[in-house]
Chain A
Amino acid sequence: KAGVTQTPRYLIKTRGQQVTLSCSPISGHRSVSWYQQTPGQGLQFLFEYFSETQRNKGNFPGRFSGRQFSNSRSEMNVSTLELGDSALYLCASSLPSQETQYFGPGTRLLVL
């Protein structure tokens, strides 16, 4: 079974731009969660989507948003990028009734 895939793997943007990251979960997994990892703050939960609805949200500003499609694929968007948004963005998927999450390789975003 294929794992969680994330695209793109690397991205360079400039301040003020916006970015969209994509995540394809493991087949059959309907829950998708997003995390941000920075050297200073570590791994932090952004939000979780299940059946195209945001089910849980972390403590991030409204510039961070996401959505989930009917095939469970998910995207996250960051608008008006700031230097501090430079991070590894990780997506994880799980079965609806299980908490065990399986992570993708991440998208490394650099904001200049």
Chain B
Amino acid sequence: DAKTTQPPSMDCAEGRAANLPCNHSTISGNEYVYWYRQIHSQGPQYIIHGLKNNETNEMASLIITEDRKSSTLILPHATLRDTAVYYCIVSSMEYGNKLVFGAGTILRVKS
């Protein structure tokens, strides 16, 4: 499985965009980039995923660089409820349904 590198923590002001970076320089061609988040003591929540193109849903946007070696998760208008640990994961069905979680980024949204 390709490994990812994320900053251990980030702060964001409420109402502003939160931009969470992720490096995945060893990603292979059939691996997707997934983002999950975990609010304290709850199960991880799926946010978004992508292969090559940028993706947007009701929760966030995912920007993947052209060489696919890094990506950015964007929460357009962060709220206090977005305070959580955010995990960037690369995965493909080649390994079955198995997610390899790193330490993630603790995002603290402050008022």
A interface, CB within 8 angstroms of B: 4, 31, 33, 35, 42-45, 48, 50, 55-56, 58, 88, 90, 92, 94, 97, 99-106, 108
CB nearest to A56 among chain B residues: B96
B interface, CB within 8 angstroms of A: 32, 34, 36, 41-46, 49, 87, 91-93, 95-103
A45 touches B46 (CB 8 A): no
26 contacts across the A-B interface (CB closer than 8 A): A33-B99, A35-B99, A35-B101, A43-B87, A48-B96, A48-B98, A50-B97, A55-B96, A56-B95, A56-B98, A90-B43, A97-B93, A99-B32, A99-B91, A99-B97, A99-B99, A100-B34, A100-B46, A100-B49, A101-B46, A101-B99, A103-B43, A103-B45, A105-B43, A106-B41, A108-B41
CB nearest to A93 among chain B residues: B97
B94 to chain A, nearest CB (A): 10
Give the contacting residue for B44; candidates A44, A90, A97, A99; CB below 8 A: A90
A42 touches B101 (CB 8 A): yes
Q: Given the known A-B contacts A55-B96, A56-B96, A105-B43, are A99 and B101 also in contact in the complex, defined by CB atoms under 8 Å? A: no
B88 to chain A, nearest CB (A): 13
A94 neighbours in B (Cβ, 8 Å): 97
Q: Whole-angstrom distance between the alpha carbons of A31 and B98 in the complex?
A: 11
A33 touches B43 (CB 8 A): no
A99 to chain B, nearest CB (A): 6
B44 touches A45 (CB 8 A): no
Max chain B CB contacts within 10 Å: which of A4, A31, A43, A90? A43
B102 to chain A, nearest CB (A): 8
B75 to chain A, nearest CB (A): 19
A54 to chain B, nearest CB (A): 10
B103 neighbours in A (Cβ, 8 Å): 42
Give the contacting residue for B100; candidates A45, A50, A55, A92; CB below 8 A: A45
